[in-house]
Amino acid sequence: MPITVLEPTKQLEGLYTVLRDRETERAQFIFFADRIIRLLVEKGLDMLPVTPKTVITPTGAEYQGVEFQGHICGVSIIRAGESMEQGLRACCRSVRIGKILIQRNEETAKPHLYYEKLPTDIADRYVFLLDPMLATGGSALMAIDVLMKRGVPPERIIFLNLIASPEGLDNFNRLHPKVHIVTGKIDSNLDDKAYIYPGLGDFGDRYYST
């Protein structure tokens, strides 16, 4: 299974330290989370196919560059995934965004699909699946099943998340090994409530202050 982890620079470690701190206020949490989301989007965009393209610069020189191939769209898993939409739009101004609502049963930790609204031509696009946390992977795996039923090949799905658990990655490797995962951190484990440890708490609650 293709997994890409952001380079562990001092700058990135500083960003995660702010997010993990339970004393961090909402405005700060949003600001630093958005910075990491932008890095994840840029890394995901770097995985899209390109073809050679020659342009002429303002000085009249010929420049051998590249041009991206294939259309993309974002699909956010409501609600926390919606926090990543602006980061995608900041890099791709006219990108189309679909939404999938999957909620986890707090007792069984299993997901349930409630709602989906996706671009009609999604089967012809590369899909950036957006959800900040990969815990058990149940919600994201169900979302991928939805995308595949709509004709999206798994190798054209790029799942972006800020933190992943080893258990969630194992589930992806077992069920959808062709999906590319781009994450900022791989944490230690899941606790007895299926939350990522050490983690940063409930991302959606902290981002939206609910």
Whose tokens are 């961090």? That residue is 24
The tokens 């230690």 sit on which residue? 188
Kindly indicate whether the domain formed by 3-208 is annotated with CATH number 3.40.50.2020. Answer: yes
Integer Cα distance of 41 and 92 in angstroms: 10
Could you say which DSSP state residue 46 is in?
A: T
Cis amide bond preceding 79, omega within 30: yes
Residues 188, 179: contact at Cβ < 8 Å? no
DSSP 95: -
140-199 pLDDT, tens per residue? 999 999 999 999 999 999 999 999 999 999 999 999 999 999 999 999 999 998 899 999
- The residue among 116, 76, 68 whose CA lies nearest residue 92 is 68
17-50: b (≥16 Cβ within 10 Å) or e = ebbeeeebeeeebbebbeebbbbbbebbbeeeee
Amino acid at 114: Y
Q: Active-site residues: which are they?
A: 104, 108, 202, 205
**What is the pLDDT at residue 1?**
67
Tokens 């900041």 map to which residue?
90
Question: pLDDT digit string (tens) for 7-26?
Answer: 999 999 999 999 999 999 99
Q: pLDDT grade, residue 109 (50/70/90)?
A: low
Read off the pTM.
0.93
Alpha carbon 3 to chain centroid, angstroms: 12
Domain locations in the chain? 3-208
Of 69, 42, 41, nearest in space to 53 by CA: 69
* Cα distance between residue 104 and residue 174, in whole Å: 20
